[in-house]
Chains A and B, each alone.
Chain A
């Protein structure tokens, strides 16, 4: 495995060497060193400036396709390096204990391996697809925990199929367009969008944390989502 992974890296001109992989899980080399914990406001802007997201995303999509086509373990290793630490962050932010967050991150990547053939690069970006897997696994875990007597590990491992792609949405560069649209939201709107995806808090608590009325949180969210839709319509 190790040798084939090195061969894969060597065949991949865009990548720098990654010594020691397999011994310790590290992020994929093209990612920048960790930043300070992100504030809800600046995450997207910072990301927009630090790398070319579309290329990275297309690259990630190709890795998923490689798993589907040839059970490519080197591709899996790269996907794991990129996504598992991010999914762990996602789970932690949604209130999972570290051990559970780690478990769900690994389960998410196992599901990527298992479901790779169902990934349609024309229907979703790699990040969007992995996000839905992580979200569904977390939800299914909550659901299973509510039924402690009923153990169906086989079924609990199966997330629902991704939401059927709308034919009008061409996903080839969707994530990039979403990023651009999010970068054009106001700070306040971006903050409530981020909090509603990445914090396990009801809107009432988000309102209290931001010091604004509940109705303002809801209206900001609605406006933000409408603006995203409009911006995406414009760029199509």
Chain B
């Protein structure tokens, strides 16, 4: 399951340097869990961050900071393994997603369900899940902001190509597309969106009140 569509180098750098908003950061984190190539790139960038940290001028902490921190150690049990997640009822496992609170699945249109996450960025970019029945034709839409979509399960296609599990798509104002979900299985996507999705058509009018940001 090698991903064929990846985040741009700019996006990976923004992720590694901590400047990507939390919603898109969640989507990229979920991609990296599934993509060793991007994980390697980010690891390298994180080592750059480590080298910069090592070179940073130390700023003295306030008096007693060490003593206060040492006093707190007893209350913190070292962890021997990764923290268990929240155990979402999701057909796909993602460590990053396990750290988020998810709402219930909500019907938002024929063949289409939507599920909120608690990830909301300062600028209004939010992350949510979208589940589509096989063969669903998603509303024709354009964007007023950025949209980032990661396929967690299933696949869809549009003018820009086919996107299967692990693939990530970045779209902006210039993108206009109408995805069609592959036959065979449900398609579940994790989406980060900023600005308004401008939906066209009947489906769009149904969907609009729910995903409008």
Residues of chain B contacted by A63 (CB below 8 angstroms): none
- Known pairs A68-B78, A139-B25; A174 contacts B47 (CB<8 A): yes
Residues of chain A contacted by B76 (CB below 8 angstroms): 110, 113-114
B160 at the interface (CB under 8 A from A): no
**B51, A178: Cβ atoms under 8 Å?**
yes
Task: Name A residues whose Cβ lies closer than 8 Å to a Cβ of B.
Answer: 1, 21-27, 31, 34-35, 37-38, 43-44, 46-47, 53, 56-57, 67-68, 71, 73, 76-77, 80-81, 83-90, 92-94, 101-102, 105-106, 109-110, 113-118, 123-132, 134-136, 138-139, 142-143, 146-147, 150, 152, 155, 158, 160-169, 171, 174-175, 178-179, 182, 193-194, 196-198, 200, 218, 221-222, 225-226, 228-229, 232
Most buried by B among A71, A92, A193: A193
- Known pairs A44-B51, A132-B46; A35 contacts B57 (CB<8 A): yes
Give Cα A167–Cα B40 distance, bound, in whole angstroms. 8
Residues of chain B contacted by A163 (CB below 8 angstroms): 32, 39, 42-43, 46
- Inter-chain pairs besides A110-B76, A228-B44, 20 sampled, C-beta below 8 Å: A22-B66, A26-B60, A34-B57, A43-B55, A84-B65, A89-B58, A102-B62, A106-B61, A106-B68, A135-B17, A143-B22, A146-B122, A147-B118, A160-B99, A163-B43, A166-B37, A167-B36, A194-B52, A197-B49, A232-B44
Q: Total number of A-B contacts with CB less than 8 angstroms?
A: 237
Pairs A–B under 8 Å by Cβ, sample size 27:
A21-B66, A22-B66, A44-B51, A56-B54, A71-B73, A71-B78, A73-B73, A85-B61, A89-B56, A94-B18, A102-B62, A102-B65, A105-B65, A106-B65, A106-B68, A106-B69, A118-B81, A125-B50, A126-B50, A131-B50, A131-B52, A132-B46, A135-B18, A138-B18, A166-B37, A178-B48, A228-B48
Give Cα A118–Cα B121 distance, bound, in whole angstroms. 28
Residues of chain A contacted by B19 (CB below 8 angstroms): 196, 200
Interface 0/1 of B7-42, CB less than 8 Å to A: 001100110011100100100010011001101111
- Known pairs A84-B61, A139-B18, A147-B118; A47 contacts B79 (CB<8 A): no
Interface residue tally on B, bucketed by range: 35 or more
Residues of chain A contacted by B36 (CB below 8 angstroms): 164, 166-167
**A81, B44: Cβ atoms under 8 Å?**
no
B92 at the interface (CB under 8 A from A): no
**A142, B122: Cβ atoms under 8 Å?**
yes
- Known pairs A128-B50, A163-B39; A147 contacts B56 (CB<8 A): no
Residues of chain A contacted by B13 (CB below 8 angstroms): 196, 221, 225
Residues of chain B contacted by A193 (CB below 8 angstroms): 48
**A178, B61: Cβ atoms under 8 Å?**
no
Give Cα A225–Cα B118 distance, bound, in whole angstroms. 33
Q: Which residue of B lies closest to A183 (CB)?
A: B51
Q: Which residue of B lies closest to A33 (CB)?
A: B58
**B79, A118: Cβ atoms under 8 Å?**
yes
B1 at the interface (CB under 8 A from A): no
